[in-house]
Amino acid sequence: QSALTQPASVSGSPGQSITISCTGTSSDVGSYNLVSWYQQHPGKAPQLIIYEGAKRPSGVSSRFSGSKSGNTASLTISGLQPGDEGDYYCCSYVTGSTYVFGSGTTLTVL
């Protein structure tokens, strides 16, 4: 059960938009619209920001959006803010009632 593939790092200036990709296989990302995304700040527990591919939990900014095409899911953050800095992880349901996380992406706001 290999980790989903994410870029190690992305960066952007305040106000810009960035996109983080999450590539899996036909057994996980490609088969289900069940990718979730988590934001993690240093020393803190992860926080859910997107679920079921594109849905936002209550309280999460509309600047965060999700999508999927084939075996790749994507997280887009628009209007970058300094507080968006941190690590981002995707996670997918996998056939057989298991789960797999992505390799993680560190976002730097320049």
Shortest distance in whole angstroms from residue 41 CB to other proteins:
13
- The answer to whether residue 36 forms part of the interface with other proteins (CB under 8 A) is yes
Complex with other proteins: residue 25 or 47, whichever CB lies closer? 47
Contact flag: residue 97 with other proteins (CB under 8 A): yes
DSSP 70-95: TTEEEEEE-S--GGG-EEEEEEEEET
Q: Is residue 99 part of the contact set for other proteins (CB under 8 A)?
A: yes
What is the rounded CA–CA span in Å between residue 80 and residue 74? 16
List all residues 6 or more positions away from 67 whose beta carbon is below 8 Å from its beta carbon.
53, 54, 73, 74, 76
Coil, strand, or helix at residue 15? coil
Please state the closest distance from residue 109 (CB atom) to other proteins, in A.
20
Tell me which residues touch other proteins (CB under 8 A).
1, 3, 32, 34, 36, 38, 40, 45-48, 51-52, 57, 89, 91, 93, 96-104
